[in-house]
C-alpha cells in the first residue's frame, strides 16, 4: 500500500486497482483563482469536474432525500470556505447540490449578497424549497465546513448530527503532539489523501472510465453560471427572479 500525496496519485491507484485502461492522455486540473471548479482534461479537452457528486456524505443525502424520508420537501445548505475559493465558486457548487438533492430544476431565486457572503432561497419546479447560507470567509488553507440537510415527510437526512460543528475525519492519531494527525482511510487505495482530495480522485476516476456524462457537465456549467447571474440580479433589485430550468 502506498501513501498517496496528490489527487493524481489517488486516480492512478484506483486505475491500477481496477486494472483499468484509461484514455490515452488525461490530467487533473486544480481549481484556479478565476475558475468555478476543478477540471479534468481528457485527450486535450477540458471538462468541469463536479467533485462534490462523488462525496459519499452528499451522495447519501441526495439518495435518501428521494427514497428514505417519505419524500423530501425542503433542504438547507449552510457552510463556509476559505476566502480565496471565492463566493461565486461556492455558489456554483451548492446550486448544483441543491437541484441534485431536491431532484428538481430551480424555478425562482431570491437572494441577498454582501461581499463574501450570500443567502439564497430557491423555489424548485416541483414545489420544494432550498435555503443556501454561504460564506467565503475562512482563512486561506482552512478546510471547507458545510452541512447538507434534507427534510421529508417522515424524517430528515443530514451530513452531520446536530452537535457536530466541523466535518469529522476517518482516523485521529494522537502521538507526538497535542493536536491529532488525521487520515482518510475509507479505502486503502486513497490512503494518505485528505477527504477533499480523495473525493476529487474518485470524481476523476469516474470521468476516465465513462461513469460521468462529461457533456452534461459542460451543459450544466453554463446553467450554473446563469443562475449566479440571476442571484446578483435578485440582490440588486431586491426582487425574486424567475428561472427557466435546464437539465439537472
50 inside domain: yes
Q: Is 5 contained in some domain?
A: no
What pLDDT sits at residue 146?
95
Per residue in 65-91, pLDDT (tens digit) is 988 888 789 999 999 999 999 999 999
What pLDDT does 186 receive? 61
Distance from C-alpha of 87 to C-alpha of 144, rounded to nearest angstrom: 12
Residue 54 has φ and ψ, to the nearest 5°, of: -110, 5
What are phi and psi for residue 239, nearest 5 degrees?
A: -135, 155
How far is CA 151 from its chain centroid?
A: 19
Strands 45-48 and 117-124, bridge-based pairing: unpaired
CA distances from 122 to 128, 144, 167, 228 (A): 8, 22, 25, 12
| Exposed/middle/buried for residue 75 (C-beta within 10 Å: 0-12, 13-18, 19+) | buried
84 and 90 in contact (C-beta within 8 Å)? Answer: no
- Sign of the torsion formed by the C-alpha atoms of 133, 139, 141 and 142: negative
Count structural domains, the chain. 1
Q: How far apart are CA 154 and CA 71, in angstroms?
A: 8
Predicted local distance difference test score (pLDDT) of residue 4: 53
**Average pLDDT of the chain?**
89
Identify the H or E element spanning 124. strand 117-124
Looking at the domain assignment, is residue 230 inside a domain?
yes
What is the pLDDT confidence band of residue 194, given thresholds at 50, 70 and 90? confident
Q: Residue 13 and residue 8: Cα distance in Å, rounded?
A: 8
Q: What is the CATH number of the domain that holds 52?
A: 3.30.360.10
Please give the pLDDT value at position 72.
82
- The whole-number pLDDT of residue 71 equals 78
Is residue 12 included in any domain, yes or no? no
pLDDT digits (tens, 9 = 90+) for 115-147: 899 999 999 999 999 999 999 999 999 989 999
Please write the tens of the pLDDT for every residue from 27-48: 999 999 889 999 999 999 999 9
Q: Looking at beta carbons, which pairs linking 29-35 to residues 24 or more positions away fall under 8 Å?
A: 31/85, 31/89, 33/84, 33/86, 35/89
CA angle 218, 231, 135 (to 5 degrees): 90
* pLDDT value at 2 more than 60: no
Question: Is residue 39 included in any domain, yes or no?
Answer: yes
Query: For residue 213, what pLDDT band results from cuts at 50, 70 and 90?
Result: very high
Q: Is residue 17 part of a domain?
A: no
Residue 28 falls within a domain, yes or no?
Answer: yes
Strands 72-82 and 129-138, by their bridges, are parallel
pLDDT tens digits for 156-178? Answer: 999 987 777 777 777 788 988 88
Does the pLDDT value for residue 246 go beyond 70?
no
The mean pLDDT of 83-100, rounded to a whole number, is 97
Higher-scoring residue by pLDDT: 210, 189: 210
- Sequence-distant (≥ 6) Cβ neighbours of residue 94 within 8 angstroms: 77, 79, 132, 134, 146
Does residue 7 fall inside a structural domain?
Answer: no
pLDDT number for residue 24:
67
**Is 1 or 179 the better-scoring residue by pLDDT?**
179
pLDDT of residue 185: 56
Find the domain containing 127 and state its range.
Answer: 24-242
Amino acid at each position: 500500500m502506498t501513501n498517496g500525496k496528490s489527487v493524481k496519485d489517488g486516480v492512478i491507484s484506483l486505475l491500477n486497482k481496477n486494472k483499468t485502461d484509461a484514455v490515452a492522455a488525461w490530467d487533473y486540473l486544480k481549481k484556479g483563482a478565476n475558475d468555478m471548479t476543478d477540471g479534468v482534461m481528457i485527450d486535450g479537452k477540458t471538462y468541469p469536474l463536479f467533485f462534490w457528486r462523488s462525496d459519499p456524505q452528499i451522495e447519501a443525502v441526495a439518495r435518501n432525500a428521494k427514497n428514505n424520508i417519505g419524500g423530501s420537501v425542503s433542504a438547507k445548505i449552510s457552510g463556509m470556505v476559505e476566502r480565496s475559493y471565492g463566493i461565486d465558486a461556492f455558489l456554483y457548487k451548492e446550486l448544483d447540490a441543491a437541484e441534485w438533492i431536491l431532484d428538481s430544476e430551480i424555478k425562482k431565486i431570491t437572494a441577498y449578497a454582501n461581499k463574501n457572503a450570500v443567502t439564497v432561497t430557491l423555489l424548485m419546479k416541483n414545489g420544494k424549497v432550498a435555503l443556501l447560507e454561504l460564506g467565503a470567509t475562512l482563512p486561506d488553507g482552512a478546510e471547507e465546513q458545510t452541512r447538507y440537510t434534507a427534510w421529508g415527510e417522515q424524517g430528515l437526512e443530514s451530513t452531520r448530527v446536530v452537535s457536530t460543528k466541523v466535518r469529522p475525519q476517518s482516523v485521529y492519531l494522537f502521538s507526538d503532539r497535542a493536536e491529532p494527525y488525521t487520515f482518510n482511510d475509507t479505502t486503502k487505495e486513497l490512503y494518505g489523501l485528505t477527504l477533499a482530495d480523495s473525493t476529487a480522485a474518485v470524481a476523476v476516476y469516474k470521468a476516465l472510465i465513462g461513469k460521468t456524462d462529461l457533456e452534461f457537465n459542460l451543459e450544466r456549467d453554463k446553467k450554473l453560471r446563469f443562475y449566479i447571474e440571476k442571484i446578483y440580479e435578485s440582490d440588486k433589485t431586491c426582487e425574486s427572479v424567475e428561472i427557466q430550468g435546464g437539465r439537472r
